Amino acid sequence: MSQSAEILKHQFSQSLGLPWTDILPASRLTDILAEESISYRNRVYTPIVTLWAMLYQALSADKSLRNTVKCITTWLTAAGLQPPSSDTGAYSKARGRLPESLLQRLIPETANHIEQSIPQEHHWCNRTVKVYDGTTVLMADSAANQGEYPQHGNQAPGCGFPIARLVVFFLLNHRGQWSQPALPPWSMSEIVISRLLYEDLEVDDVAIADQAYGSYVALALIQQQGADGVLRKHHARHTDFRKGRKNGIGDHQVQWQKPTRCPAHMSAMEFAEIPKTLTVREVSLRLSRRGFRDQFIIVVTTLLDAQRYSAKQLTRLYGWRWQAAEVNLRHLKTTLKMEMLTAKTPEMVRKDIWSHLLGYNLLRSLMEQAAPWAEYDRSRLSLQGARQHFNQMLVLLATATQAIRQRLYAHLLENIATDLLPVRPHRLEPRVVKRRPKPFPRMRQPRCVLKANLAA
């Protein structure tokens, strides 16, 4: 058991762990286990082996437990050891034993280390930009999942899936590296959840989000952390560029007044700490798309220096928001297939989500290492391509000698850097579906009722 666990740990660290050699070496994982007071018996699926196996599972096209166990038995056989049983029970129990806090802790730790590796000149105006956005995740329709993450209220009982809301901020400088996720039920507002994450902003950060966030309270909470906000102005707030201190056409500074009513999600004490006025800058940005009329939007920001943060710079920044937020959310849910999770309990659902976020960060760190080969044109590096190249190389990396492993890894980075996305400026696709759905009716009753009707 002990020898198998050590060999598996070594193989995983030399394959899956190669992009994180400096971030998460075995010694660092051991220290984290000690800090979390995690102890374990002598078995194949130690916490470190289980962690790497869950990452492998998140990055695989086949996410079944059976596929992951087959990978482990194959690697042990290649090492000349007697493989464990191919039954998934031991691995399933090991996943259940692995503390959720360990996975949660690793997400910001990996994100912060990767962020520090990015050259300062690659940051927007030498500032770290964090983009806020949210999405929803479906999960298996079990009683436990329904209890913590109820299905949508418009669906009949037994005819929908439990749904959770995932809200994150991620680092724009790396085009979608995840950090500090929150996972409440879908009924909790995305705006309320994001305000809980403002506490993780650091001094001199820049927070960017869409118009749902563009309120007085959001800007005040961001500014309390010593950070700045660039938010699309809420549609209900009127703007008159004839007033205030003018910086140019469609660019002025005004004072916003604190709302008279305390939001439902804040206590009276928290609301009292917010300043009574805020000096903000409202800027009209022109967004151009081929085949469409130019669109003008208004962003509100606490970046008051119009020379350093010009309207052109803000337009460039907000133009990146779509790529960073919407496209990378789609990568997480579609490319990594996290849109529908099969776990039967809320705890395992959360562990699966944290594993996918860790896997996403791992791919992004791999792409960052390949960025110099592509002259740091990160926007053209393909996450799907990186995942495919990486998965093809894992078995060879795990079983090769040190010299061969170095050549394989250099070849992997070169492949990722040369497998660039084509230049597709202003690509347009209609939002239509060509394939016709099957002519089956929608489920209107629970499955057990429908089965009983068939048996009757």
Tell whether the model's pLDDT for residue 181 goes beyond 70.
no
**Does residue 218 sit in the same domain as residue 181?**
yes
Q: Decide if 292 is inside a domain.
A: yes
Two structure tokens written together for 200: 């993780």
Q: Decide if 250 is inside a domain.
A: yes
**Does residue 201 sit in the same domain as residue 71?**
no
* pLDDT score at 426: 66
**Does residue 222 sit in the same domain as residue 294?**
yes
pTM: 0.89
Q: If you ran DSSP here, which 8-state letter would residue 60 be given?
A: S
* pLDDT score at 173: 62
Least confident of 22-31, 138-147, 420-429: 420-429
Q: Decide if 182 is inside a domain.
A: yes
Tell whether the model's pLDDT for residue 327 goes beyond 70.
yes
**Does residue 223 sit in the same domain as residue 137?**
yes
Q: Which residue has the higher pLDDT, 383 or 167?
A: 383
* pLDDT score at 176: 47
**Does residue 137 sit in the same domain as residue 256?**
yes
Dihedral (CA of 213, 229, 202, 58) sign = positive
Tell whether the model's pLDDT for residue 202 goes beyond 70.
yes
Average pLDDT over residues 171-180: 57
359-382 in b/e form (b: 16+ CB < 10 A) is bbbbbbbbbbbbbeebeeebeebb
**Does residue 296 sit in the same domain as residue 159?**
yes
CB 160 within 8 A of CB 151: yes
Tell whether the model's pLDDT for residue 177 goes beyond 60.
no
Q: Decide if 351 is inside a domain.
A: no
Tell whether the model's pLDDT for residue 289 goes beyond 70.
no
**Does residue 251 sit in the same domain as residue 321?**
yes
* pLDDT score at 194: 79
Using the 3D structure, point to which of 277, 306, 335 is the last residue of a domain.
335
Distance CA 254, CA 257 (A): 10
Tell whether the model's pLDDT for residue 175 goes beyond 70.
no
Distance CA 434, CA 81 (A): 51
Q: What does pLDDT average to over the chain?
A: 88
**Does residue 156 sit in the same domain as residue 252?**
yes
Using the 3D structure, point to which of 335, 350, 370 is the last residue of a domain.
335
**Does residue 286 sit in the same domain as residue 141?**
yes
Tell whether the model's pLDDT for residue 89 goes beyond 80.
yes
Q: Decide if 428 is inside a domain.
A: no
Q: Decide if 436 is inside a domain.
A: no
Dihedral (CA of 132, 137, 142, 143) sign = positive
* pLDDT score at 291: 58
**Does residue 329 sit in the same domain as residue 218?**
yes
CB 174 within 8 A of CB 368: yes
CB 301 within 8 A of CB 317: no
Domain that holds residue 167: 124-335
Distance CA 295, CA 154 (A): 34
CB 252 within 8 A of CB 230: no
Question: By C-alpha distance, which of 401, 323, 397 is closest to 366?
Answer: 397
**Does residue 56 sit in the same domain as residue 194?**
no
**Does residue 406 sit in the same domain as residue 296?**
no
The gap from C-alpha 156 to its chain's centroid, in whole angstroms, comes to 31
* pLDDT score at 337: 92
* pLDDT score at 290: 61
Question: By C-alpha distance, which of 141, 143, 192, 135 is closest to 164?
Answer: 135
User: If you search the block for the tokens 């009683």, which residue do you land on?
Assistant: 143
CB 101 within 8 A of CB 36: yes
Q: Decide if 36 is inside a domain.
A: yes
Average pLDDT over residues 52-69: 95
Domain count, the chain: 2
Q: Decide if 225 is inside a domain.
A: yes
Q: What percent of the chain has pLDDT over 90?
A: 47
